[in-house]
A and B are shown apart, each in its own frame.
Chain A
C-alpha cells in the first residue's frame, strides 16, 4: 500500500481500477531514412498535419456546442501551432537535410520551441507549452498510428489516470463509467479540476509522477477532498472509504428530500444558502442542489487558457447565461482576482516574492481601468437579465473601495451615454478577506450594500500562514479565536450599519462550523453546491437561539483546538444523535 499526495480538485471518493490514458512522454527513436524515402516522409508528415487539423476542428466544434464557446477557444490556439509556417518548414527542411524520420525530427523541433518558451519567465508562454505538447502528441499519434485510449467506449467503471486530461478527452467521455480522475500536473483551477467539479467526479491533480507509478488495472482509492490517492489499499482503508462513499450517497438521497425545503432554523430564521461557481455550466448543479442563489461566481476562468483578453461582449454573454439560468434567484459576480502576471508580459512584471500580498485583484484593476472597466460594463449589461450583485475582491481599506465605486460610476456613465440599459438598483458588495478590511468594516459599510467574508484569504492573512506550505499547515485554523473574533466583528458591524453579511470560502462549507456561523448572525452562506444539502440539514435541525448560545460558548475558548473539539461534540448532538438532546 502506498499513499500519494496531490491536490484535491473535486470532492468525493472513488474506489476502483486504474485506466491509464497516457504517460508523460512518448518515446520516439532516431531512425535514418534513404534519399528515395524523403518525398514519402514529407508527404507522411503533411498528411499527419492535415488529419490533426481536422481532428482539432471537430473537437473544437463539439466542445463549443456541448460545453460552451469559451472552452472551444483553447483549440484555436492549438490550430495556430500546426498552421505555423516556420515550424512546418523547419521540419520539412530537416527531413531533407538530416535524412531522419519525420516523427523524430518533428518531436525534436517541438522540444526546441518548448525549451525556448520555458526559458522565458512568463505565465502565458508556459500555458502555450501545454498547448504545444498537446498538439505535438496528437500529430505524433497520427504519425505512429497509435490510438490514445478513448474515454468514449468504456466497458467498466474506471479511474482515469493521465499526465493531464485535456478538454478533448472529457468532451467524448462516457460519463457513466468514469468514476474519478488523477493527474500528474494541474492545480485547483486547471482544466481537469474545473471539468471534474462541473461533472461532479472526484479528482486529485498535481500528483507529479503518478503515471510512472501505476499500471492499467491497479486498484486505487482517490479522495478528492483531501487530495490523496491510495495505491493498492488494504482492507481497512477500503472499508473506511466505502463508509465515506455511503455517507456521500446518503447526503445525495437527503438532497432530494431537502431540495424543495427552505433553509430556515427551527425558530424561523431564514438564511440564504447559495453556491460558488466558476463556470456558467455549473448553474445546473447549483439548481439541482436546491441553492437559493449563487453567492460567488468567480470570473477568473474567463481570462485563462485563452489567447488575448475576453471582450466585453464575450464576458456579457457568459454573465448573461448565468443570470438568466438562475433568475429569479440572485447571483453575486466577483470581479476578477488575478495578478498582473496574467495580463502583462514578463518584462513589465516584476517577479513577486509574495504574490498573495502582491499586485493582484482590485489592486491590479484600479491600476488598469482599461481592463477593469470592460468587465464592469459587461456585468452591468448583464444585470438587466435578472438579479445580479457585484462584488470587489481584496479590498483592504476605504480609499480602494471608493476608487472602485468611482470606476463603476464611470462605467455606468459610459453605458448611459450610449443608451444601454442596466439595473440601476444593482447591489454592490465588498469581499472581506483582509484583516484591515475586517477591522475597518464600519467605514466600508457606508459604501456598499453587503459584505461577503472570504475566509480562505482572511485566515491566511490573519494567522500569517501560507496554506500551501505543508510544514505550517497545522497553523491554518479556521476556528482560531482570532478568526472567529474577526468574523463576529464584521457581522455585528454590518448589521449595525444595516447591511447584510454573507460568507463564501471553504469555511462556509464545513458542517462542523455551521452552528457557530449561524449563531454569529450570518445572513448568507455560500459554498460548493455539493455541500449545500448537509449545511441545510444542520440549519433546519437547530434553532437560532441554540446557535447563538453555541457561538457564545465557542468564543469563550482560548485555542482553536478546543473550539473544534466543542463544535464536533455539538455537531454529533445536532445531526447524529438528535434524540439524545434534553430539550
Chain B
C-alpha cells in the first residue's frame, strides 16, 4: 500500500469538477483508492463519497492506494491534485 499526504490546491476544493476527474482517474486502475480527511474515510472511486468529504482548498488529505497498479495510480492522482489549479475550466 502506498500512502501520501497531499494538500488540495484547487480553489473549488475536491469538489464538483475536480472530484469527478479524480474519480475518473481512480476508476482507470484496479487498485483500491481511499481518501481520508481527519477521521473520515471514503472510497476514492466514489463521487458520492468524495463529495460528502467536502475537502476544500487548503485542506490536507491522505491518499491510500493498494493493489497491483498502485504506483501508477498514485502517480496520476498526485499529479492531478498538484497541477489542478483550475486554470482551464473545461467541463468534466
Residues of A whose CB lies within 8 Å of any CB of B are 73, 80-81, 84-87, 113, 116-117, 120, 122, 124-125, 128, 132, 306-314, 343-348, 370-371, 374
Contact = CB atoms under 8 A, between A and B. Distances in A.
A374 B89 contact: yes
Nearest to B42: A86
B70 interface: no
Given A86-B42, A117-B52, A120-B54, A347 B23 contact: no
What's the dominant secondary structure at chain A's contact region?
Answer: helix
25 contacts: A84-B47, A85-B43, A86-B42, A113-B52, A117-B52, A120-B54, A125-B51, A128-B51, A308-B18, A308-B20, A308-B90, A308-B91, A308-B92, A309-B91, A310-B89, A310-B91, A311-B88, A311-B90, A312-B89, A314-B91, A343-B12, A344-B56, A346-B56, A347-B54, A371-B89
Nearest to B59: A347
A12 B46 CA distance: 44
Contacts of B86: 309, 370
B87 to A, nearest CB: 7
B91 A347 contact: no
B46 A87 contact: yes
B42 A345 contact: no
Contact of A81 (B48, B52, B54, B87): B48
Interface string B1-45: 000000000011101111010010001000000000000001101
B62 interface: no
Given A307-B16, A308-B91, A86 B43 contact: yes
B12 A344 contact: yes
Given A124-B16, A307-B91, A85 B27 contact: yes
B57 interface: yes
A307 B46 contact: no
Contacts of A132: 48
Interface residues of B, number: 30
Nearest to A113: B48
A447 to B, nearest CB: 28
A116 B89 contact: no
Contacts of A348: 11, 13, 56-57
A81 B47 contact: yes
B49 A86 contact: yes
Contact of B17 (A84, A113, A309): A309
Contacts of B45: 85-86
Contact of A116 (B16, B18, B52): B52
B77 to A, nearest CB: 16
Contacts, number: 91
Contacts of A346: 54, 56
Given A344-B11, A345-B15, A370 B87 contact: yes
A80 B91 contact: no
A370 B89 CA distance: 10
A307 B57 CA distance: 17
Given A117-B51, A128-B51, A347-B13, 7 more contacts: A86-B42, A125-B51, A308-B89, A314-B91, A344-B11, A344-B13, A346-B56
B15 A86 contact: no
Closest 5 A/B residue pairs (Cβ):
A308-B17, A86-B46, A347-B56, A345-B13, A86-B43
Most interface-central of B51, B56, B87 (chain A CB within 10 A): B51
Contacts of A120: 52, 54
Contacts of A87: 46, 48
B40 to A, nearest CB: 10
A442 B54 CA distance: 47
Contacts of B88: 311
Contacts of B89: 308-312, 371, 374
Nearest to A343: B12
Contact of A345 (B49, B56, B87): B56
Contacts of B47: 80-81, 84
B91 A125 contact: no
Contacts of A125: 51, 54
Contacts of B57: 345, 348
A84 B91 contact: no
Given A117-B51, A347-B13, A84 B46 contact: yes
A73 B91 contact: yes
A343 B18 CA distance: 13
Contacts of B43: 85-86
A347 B47 CA distance: 19
A306 B16 CA distance: 9
B45 to A, nearest CB: 5
B88 to A, nearest CB: 7
A311 B13 contact: no
Contacts of A113: 48, 52
